[in-house]
Amino acid sequence: MKKKNQHSVALGRVGGRSRSTAEVAASRENERLSGRKRELQAEEVHEQRPDSAEDVTKNVTAYHEAGHVVVAIYLELKVKGVTIESDKYGLSYGGVEPERLRKRVIEQIEDRTLSLRSKDHIERYIRAALAGSIAQHRYSPQSFENHHAKGDDSNAFQLALALASDNVREAEAWLNLLHIQTESLIELCWFAVEAVAQALLERHTLIGDELQKVCQSAFMNSPKRERVELADEREERR
């Protein structure tokens, strides 16, 4: 009786048939590849899992504050700084420190003697105030809750009342118009909003020249560049 070749010695049985060394090696390789495939699938599932609640809040806050900043700067309002850090009590996230209303505008509001220039200045402030919630809703509609815009909406309405000489109906109509205009601004400047939001997620706080550089770079690289100009560029064309 002939001895079997050592390379064909039975190492296992499949369907009643002995498997050769080559078959076993192939089987092991398939198992290895299958295992690696499962690992990759597990990694993919992990990547697709939703972020933690804190990460989601940070993302939403970044887009909210970026909306305020981008519209304010586009409308030639100065912004000292912006952050997505929570306050010291942990009760609220984020904040923008804009230029205060000019003293003469405040005096005219109190005296009810608003000039056309002052009214234009107030309208720009209102658009900047509305821009945060509009940008947040554009980024993540499901994240938005009415209380997120409570402070901004209150400020905007008080300024609209000043524009309308305390006529509530007229103030509401004025506010609705400015809200529509701000939605268009956010759409026009969305590339810049995304850039500022990403910078905030990386650095958490942007102030002074650093903030200006981020915004300028965002506007310069906007796909809608032909329609987006910063204040200094508009000034040069006058």
Q: Both 13 and 81 in a single domain?
A: no
Number of domains the chain is built from = 2
Residue 92: count of CB within 10 angstroms of its CB: 11
- What CATH number is associated with residue 69? 1.20.58.760
Residue 48: the pLDDT is 45
Q: Both 41 and 66 in a single domain?
A: no
Q: Kindly give the pairing relationship between strand 93-98 and strand 79-86.
A: antiparallel
Tens digits of pLDDT across the chain (238 residues): 544 444 433 333 434 445 566 665 666 666 666 666 666 555 554 444 445 666 778 899 999 999 999 999 999 888 888 988 876 534 345 566 666 677 778 888 877 888 898 899 899 999 999 999 999 999 988 887 766 667 788 889 999 999 988 899 999 999 999 999 999 999 999 999 999 999 999 999 998 888 888 888 888 877 665 455 554 455 455 5
**From CA 219, how far away is CA 83, in angstroms rounded?**
20
DSSP 78: -
State pTM to two decimals: 0.69
Task: Determine, yes or no, domain membership for 205.
Answer: yes
